[in-house]
């Protein structure tokens, strides 16, 4: 098999890897600095069919040979997913969610318990898992309220579908701060960051 044949089967990544990676990295950092705001990633990329464009872009920009990646059941069963990640990013895949730097979740409604993943340690809180979670919408789901660093007053987010106990999970995650996991919610070309530092509450009736 030639390199050209392999590339044709697994996608070509970014057309301009260096420039596109920088653009996506800045978008993710801006999203983390302004939790709950929707950021559009317009860098085109060919990836396995189950992987949304923004998920693929995040993988290409942030994953490398030093970042272990865990795939949920749906992603693990997707044809060419593991090969695409290895070929495009060099990231090692792990079967142990607690050992992963990043976790890819195909459906937000099937989001595993946060305790499954690494929360970091008191000495190294950054050694936690970042969850990249695909959802159907970032604007038409059940409304939740956000507050904390990077948010002036309060803001709302309507991502979904997510587990019914999502708010409780986020509150328990915030109680661990500075430990805990960070989330990137992805829908199509858009993403929203929910870092461990923010407070999440249900919308009052």
In a domain, 195, yes or no: no
In a domain, 204, yes or no: no
List, in order, residues 6 or more apart from 139 with CB less than 8 Å away: 38, 158
Please give the mean pLDDT across all residues of the chain: 92
In a domain, 200, yes or no: no
Domain hosting residue 109, numbered range: 14-187
Q: What is the number of domains present in the chain?
A: 1
In a domain, 5, yes or no: no
pLDDT digits (tens, 9 = 90+) for 109-131: 999 999 999 999 999 999 999 99
Query: What percent of the chain has a predicted confidence (pLDDT) above 70?
Result: 94
Q: What are 118's two structure tokens?
A: 């690494």
In a domain, 6, yes or no: no
In a domain, 161, yes or no: yes
For the whole model, what pTM was predicted?
0.93
Q: Residue 125 is part of a domain; what is its CATH number?
A: 3.40.50.11310
Please give the angle made by the CA atoms of 29, 186 and 98, to the nearest 5 degrees: 80
Query: Given pLDDT bands bounded at 50, 70 and 90, which one contains residue 204?
Result: confident
Which pLDDT value is given to residue 205? 63
Q: How far is the C-alpha of 98 from the C-alpha of 112, rounded, in Å?
A: 12
Q: What are 169's two structure tokens?
A: 């999970």
Which pLDDT value is given to residue 16? 82
Please name every residue paired with 40 in a beta bridge, in sequence order, or none if there are none. 190
Which pLDDT value is given to residue 140? 95
Three-state secondary-structure class, residue 103: strand
In a domain, 116, yes or no: yes
pLDDT digits (tens, 9 = 90+) for 2-40: 333 334 445 568 878 888 899 999 999 999 999 999 999
In a domain, 199, yes or no: no
Q: Please report the DSSP string for 139-177 in residue order.
A: BSS--EEEESTT-SSEEEEB-BS--TTHHHHHHHHHHTT
Which pLDDT value is given to residue 79? 86
């Amino acid at each position: 098999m030639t390199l050209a044949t392999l590339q044709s089967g697994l996608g070509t990544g970014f057309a301009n890897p260096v420039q596109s990676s920088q653009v996506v990295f800045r978008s993710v950092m801006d999203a983390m600095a302004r939790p709950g705001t929707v950021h559009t990633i317009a860098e085109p990329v060919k990836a396995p069919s189950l992987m949304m464009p923004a998920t693929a872009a995040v993988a290409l920009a942030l994953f490398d040979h030093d970042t272990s990646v865990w795939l949920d059941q749906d992603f693990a069963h997707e044809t060419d997913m593991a090969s695409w990640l290895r070929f495009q990013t060099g990231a090692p895949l792990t079967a142990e969610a607690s050992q992963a730097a990043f976790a890819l979740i195909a459906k937000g409604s099937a989001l595993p318990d946060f305790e499954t993943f690494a929360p970091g340690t008191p000495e190294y809180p950054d050694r936690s898992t970042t969850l990249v979670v695909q959802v159907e919408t970032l604007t038409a789901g059940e409304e939740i309220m956000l507050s904390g660093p990077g948010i002036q007053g309060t803001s709302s987010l309507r991502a979904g579908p997510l587990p019914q106990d999502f708010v409780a999970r986020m509150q328990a995650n915030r109680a661990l701060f500075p430990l805990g996991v960070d989330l990137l919610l992805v829908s199509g070309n858009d993403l929203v960051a929910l870092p461990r530092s923010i407070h999440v509450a249900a919308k009052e009736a």
